[in-house]
Structures are given as C-alpha cells and as structure tokens.
Structure 1
Amino acid sequence: MQLRHLAYFVAVADERSFTRAADILGVSQPTLSKQIRALENSLGTGLLVRDRAGIELTSAGEALLPHAQRILIEVDNATRSVHEVASLRRGRVRMGATPSMVEGLLAPVLGRFRAEYPAIDLEVHEAGSRDLTAELSAGRIDLALLIVPLASQIPDLETSIVYTERLVLASPADADMPETMDVADLAGLPLVMFREGYDLRDVTLRACARAGFEPRLSVEGGEMGSVLRFVESGLGHAVVPDIVMGTRTGLRRTQLENPPLARSIAVAHRPLDTLPLAARAFRAVLVEALEG
C-alpha cells in the first residue's frame, strides 16, 4: 500500500466517479483504475463497485476511507510543518469562520497576524458551523471558530472557548421598536430566518420553543448578508449577533431579555501538536486577540 494509492482511492470515493477523480488528480483514467486495482490487490479485497448510478464503496472501502483520509491529512501536515520550520518565513493557514464571525471578529485578527507574519498565506473559509466542522474533520482547514456546544461534540477535535457574543433583534431602522423586549414578544413579529444548518437559525427556533410559541417566518433561507439586507428592506426582523450591527444605519437594535440570548464561540482544531507551525502561530494570535 502506497500513499499514492490512498490518495487516488480517497479522490474516487469523494467524487464517486473515476472520470472526475482523474481530472482532479491530473492523471489518465486508465492510470487511476490501475492504481486502484493495485491497492485492492494489496489488501486482498474490492473497495469500489461500479453501477449505473456511479461508484459505490464496498464495506471494505467504507472501513478504509476514514483511515486513508486521516493518513493523508497527517502526511500533509507533516510536509507543511517541515516546509515552515525556517522561522515561519513561509507557510499557509486555512481558517474557517461563520459569516458573522468573519465580519465582526476575524478581520482584525487577520490584520494583526499579517503584520507579524507577512509571508504566511491566509485562506479563509466562510460557512456555517456544521459545514466548517465537516471541513475540519476532512482536513480541508486547520482551525475554525465554531459555536459551542456544537464544537465540543465533535470527536478528534480540541476546542477552547474564546469569546461570548450577545444576540440582539435587528429591525428596520424606521420600525417602532423598544430598546429591550422579552423573547416571548417575538411571537407577534415576522422573522427573517437563516437557512437550514445555520446555527443562528437553531438558536432562534430553540429560544422561541422555550418561550412557548412557533415563530412566524416572513423569509427564510438566507446567509448573514442577505438576512440583514432583507431586514433593512422591511421584510421582517432577525435575531443576529450584536457585533454585526456595527454602523448599519438601516437597522435598529433591540436587546433581548427574559432570557437574554448569547452564544459561546470556540476555536476548534485537531490536536495542537499535529497542527502545522503556521496554524499554531495563528491560533496564538487569535486567542490573545479574542480573550484579551
């Protein structure tokens, strides 16, 4: 079994297509098929089955896939660490965060890190916490800012709470809204709701359920930017992190009480000693900035 064989197998498993996997890997399809057969021969069992719908994994293939992914992640991390030992004069950090965190928390940290390590490339993945967790587990990003308790429920990830943010109600600027209101008072308001899988959607729906009502949704399915624009356009109200309100003149802020809504933010990553040096340096700057 060779690393090349594992990389080819993971590519086919991810794409469920020899053609697409060969294009991604930059090899011919016959070459790819030959390498997969070599891997199957070395293991003494079939890993993939072709049918009309595409490629499916055998039970042996399903068993091998997470181990192959983990091996490739560790090899990639080891290679990157070796390349970065020269006083962090080069390297890359792949950081994930939700849209609200990118806008309100991450941007200043990126500036501080770039000033200290100007030669390190920064790559930001913007997505919901569930999607970022999947990217972390697959090794596509090094670190992520995630919501607790979601982050703490993922095996093989280390998490540290670094920030607690208050959630508020965003309303159109011309709306006649009080400075504070109870969560139960949301029952009579049309809400602009985030898409499925977005943690703020879950937070809002749970808060409404605890208050004993099902919210009335005016629009649903948006990301942070679109939700805020919908509210500015008068389509409804939305529960959002206070930090994204900033200087938006098209929005009015109302504090939520009874109970106040907040969420804890954690930095999540694989075991610290397995992270590339650049990622460890970025984590240090991130934690110092958010906890300071």
Structure 2
Amino acid sequence: MTLQQLAYFLALADVRSFTRAADRMGVAQPTLSRQLRALEESLGALLVNRSQGPLTLTPAGEAVLPLARRIVADADNARAAVAEVVGLRRGRVRVGATPSLCIGVLADAIPVFHDRYPDLSIELSENGSQLLVSGLERGELDVAVLVVPRQGLDPSLEVTPLLRERLSVASPRSEPPLSGRGTMSVTELSRRALVMFRRGYDLREVTLRAYADAGVEPRFAVEGGEMDAVLRLVETGTGVAVVPDLVFAGRPRLRRTALTPPLYRTVALARRTDVSPTPAVQVFQDTLLGFLAEAETIGDLGTDVQVLHRAPTP
C-alpha cells in the first residue's frame, strides 16, 4: 500500500468516475486503474464496484475511505511541518470556527496573527460545531474554535476552553425595549417572534433547549438563517434572536436584553490528540490565547465574557 494509491482511491471516491479521477490526478486512466488494483490486492478486497451503472464503493471501500482520508491528510501535515520548522517561513493553518466566532473573536485575532507571521496563511472554514468536529476527525482541519456541547466533546479531541460567554436577546434599537428592567425570562421571550438559525447551529440548539427547560414553545418569524442574515433581520424588526454578547460590538442598531436566569456557552479550541500540532498551528493557538487575554485586560470582551485559559508566559 502506498500514499499514491490511497490518493488515487480518494479521487475516485470523490468523483465516482475513472476518467475524471485520472484527470484530477494528472495521470492516464490505465495508470490509475492499475494502482487501484494493486491497492485492492494489498488489502485483499475489492474497493470499487465495477459493474455497469454509477460507480459505487464496496463495503470494504466504505470502511477504508475515512482511514485513507486521515492517512493522506497526516502525510500532508508531515510535509507541511517539515517546511514550517525552517523558521516558520512557510506554512498554513486550517482553522474552523462557528459563524458567530468568525465575525467576533477571529475577525480581530487573525489580523494580529498575520502581522506577527506574514508568511503563514490561514484557511478558514465556517460551520456549526458538529460539522467542525467532523472536519477535525477527517483531517480536513488543524484546529477548530467551537462551542462545547452539554455532553462534552469526543475524547479523541484535545480541548482547550477559551471563553465562557453569555447569551442575550437581540432586538432592533429602533423599537421600544423588550423589558423596562433590561432583563427578561425565557417565558417572556416566548411571547416574541424569533429569527432562528438554521439546523446545525449551536445557537439554535441552545435556544430550543432553554425553551424546553422553561416549558414553553418557540414562535418563529423566520427559520434557517446564517449569522449575518439573522442579525440583519433583527435590525429590520422581523423578530428577535438569542445571540452571543460578543456580536453586539459594532452593531449600534441592535439592543441587548439579558436573559434571566443567565444563559451561557463555553467556547473552546479543539484539535486531534493523535496529531502533534505543527509549529504554525502552535503559534496560531498561542496568538489566539494571547489576544483573548489582552482583550480581557483592556475590556474589549465586555463584562459577561470570561477568559478561561491563559497563554503560556514566554
């Protein structure tokens, strides 16, 4: 078994065509077919159904697929690590983050990272926490900044808690306050129409769980939005939304109303335990931790955001 054979198999699994897979890999189709056959002989099982009709993977092929992705990704990481050891002159960090963290913490932290390490690049993937965990497990991400679910994360991931962040209700500042007290309960909130995030968003799950715990049903004005769309719909008066406190910064058209009892979420940095961080990944993590500590010191994070981890002292 060779890395090249696994790469050919992955290309075939992705495009489901010998011709297109050969084009993707830049080889002749007979070459790709021979290498796949050699891989199957090495493993002792057919990986691809070669009958007429759409190309499909055999049960053995389905079993090998996630392992092949991890092996090829780890090999890419090894090559990247060797290049990065030489003075961090080259390299990349594949970062995943939830949409609220992309427009909040990371939008401010990434410029700091680039100022310090201009030769390192960042590939940013924006998604819900469950999909980010899947990206880590498949070797498609180096690190992910995500929300820790109530049941915790898989022990195969190393988790560094970053923030404990309060969630509040966003409403349009152009309309009267939701409450004269500046706070409201989930029961009071249930009387308002919600602008709700799409399925897979952590904020959707947290909000619906809070409603269930309070014994009330949500009433939706709009469902299925991404973060920017939800905030814009709130600004225009379509409804209200439960959002992290950090998103209120720089949005003067939004009014914040705190929930009582308070609703919090924990934000963490996660990566695979079985893959040592490359130098670029390590300096990204250290930069992010240092940025959060400094932002907390000067009050940029607000009073209801608590930093949970400190960068190591140089």
Normalised-by-shorter TM-score class: over 0.9
2:72 corresponds in structure 1 to 72
1:208 corresponds in structure 2 to 211
Once the 2 structures are TM-superposed, how far is the Cα of residue 88 of structure 1 from its aligned partner?
A: 1.1
1:45 corresponds in structure 2 to 45
1:91 corresponds in structure 2 to 91
Matches within 5 A, 1:88-237: 88-149=88-149, 152-176=152-176, 177-178=178-179, 179-237=182-240
For each residue in 1:235-267, what CA deviation from the matched residue of structure 2 results, as whole angstroms up to 9, or x when unmatched? Answer: 111001111111322221111112x11100010
Aligned residue-pair number: 291
2: CA distance, partners of 1:192 / 1:84 = 44
Taking structure 2 as the reference length, what is the TM-score of the superposition? Answer: 0.86
For each residue in 1:207-244, what CA deviation from the matched residue of structure 2 results, as whole angstroms up to 9, or x when unmatched? Answer: 01101011001101110000011111111110011111
1:284 corresponds in structure 2 to 286
2:295 corresponds in structure 1 to none
- Letter matched to residue 289 of structure 2: V
- Letter matched to residue 65 of structure 1: L
For each residue in 1:140-199, what CA deviation from the matched residue of structure 2 results, as whole angstroms up to 9, or x when unmatched? Answer: 221110111279423522111111111110112222212110111111110000001111
Q: Secondary structure at the match of 2:88?
A: coil
1:27 corresponds in structure 2 to 27
Q: Secondary structure at the match of 2:104?
A: helix
2: CA distance, partners of 1:127 / 1:53 = 34
Q: Secondary structure at the match of 1:261?
A: strand
Q: Secondary structure at the match of 1:95?
A: strand
Taking structure 1 as the reference length, what is the TM-score of the superposition? Answer: 0.92
- Letter matched to residue 223 of structure 2: E
CA contact (8 A) 2:148 2:268 kept: yes
Once the 2 structures are TM-superposed, how far is the Cα of residue 28 of structure 1 from its aligned partner?
A: 3.8
For each residue in 1:23-44, what CA deviation from the matched residue of structure 2 results, as whole angstroms up to 9, or x when unmatched? Answer: 4333344432232122112223
Gaps of 5+ in 2: 293-308
1: CA distance, partners of 2:32 / 2:163 = 46
- Which stretch has the larger CA shift, 12-21 or 38-47? 12-21
Q: Give the superposed CA RMSD.
A: 2.0
- Letter matched to residue 120 of structure 1: L
- Which stretch has the larger CA shift, 85-94 or 16-25? 16-25
2: CA distance, partners of 1:28 / 1:274 = 36
Once the 2 structures are TM-superposed, how far is the Cα of residue 132 of structure 1 from its aligned partner?
A: 1.5
Q: Percent identity?
A: 52
- Letter matched to residue 229 of structure 1: R
- Are positions 1:244 and 2:255 aligned together? no
2:13 corresponds in structure 1 to 13
1: CA distance, partners of 2:20 / 2:28 = 10
Q: 1:257 aligns with which of 257, 260, 274?
A: 260
Gaps of 5+ in 1: none
